[in-house]
Amino acid sequence: MAASLVLPPRPSLRIGVLSDTHGVLPAGIAGRFSGVDAILHAGDIGEPEVLETLRAIAPLLAVRGNMDVGPWARNLPHQAVLEAGAVRILVVHDRMDLHRGEPSVARVVVSGHTHRPQIAEENGVLYLNPGSAGFPRRGEPATLGLIRIRDGGAEAELIYLPD
């Protein structure tokens, strides 16, 4: 099952991105994502309350991660697509689950799973892993991502959260 969200075209859009919350949202998430046009959650949500909190901030598109189990998670898709103006964003939990050719249908691919924040561009596709917002590993800080859409292009940034 796949889900999609279409945002109305605007000169610029801001998309908040997070992953691997494991039931814990960082303090001040509403302020960090204030004014975003949508929020993407790349899985391992942990608790349905995380989704409720994010939906109160902005339209939300979320996918199921390998740790999302139980009745509340059954209807979460494994993939989702956000149409942000002329930019298509594909959301999955684990980038390794992408089939050959799938990234080529998107300008941006958002994934999580590794808990390692990363931005990379390959073959004209921007890849963003926002790291872990709620359960960082290896002494890394909690992180979020932000995608800016302007003039048909996309750029991403990582937001490192204080301890």
Domain boundaries, the chain: 2-140
pLDDT in tens, the chain (163 residues): 468 999 998 899 999 999 999 999 988 899 999 999 999 999 999 999 999 999 999 999 999 999 999 999 999 999 999 999 889 999 999 999 887 656 667 899 999 999 999 999 998 999 999 999 987 777 788 999 999 999 889 999 999 988 6
Give the Å distances, CA to CA, from 61 to 6, 71, 90: 10, 18, 11
Q: Looking at domain 2-140, does it have CATH number 3.60.21.10?
A: yes
> Could you tell me the pTM of the whole model?
0.94
Name every residue whose Cβ is closer than 8 Å to that of residue 28 and which is 6 or more positions away in sequence: none
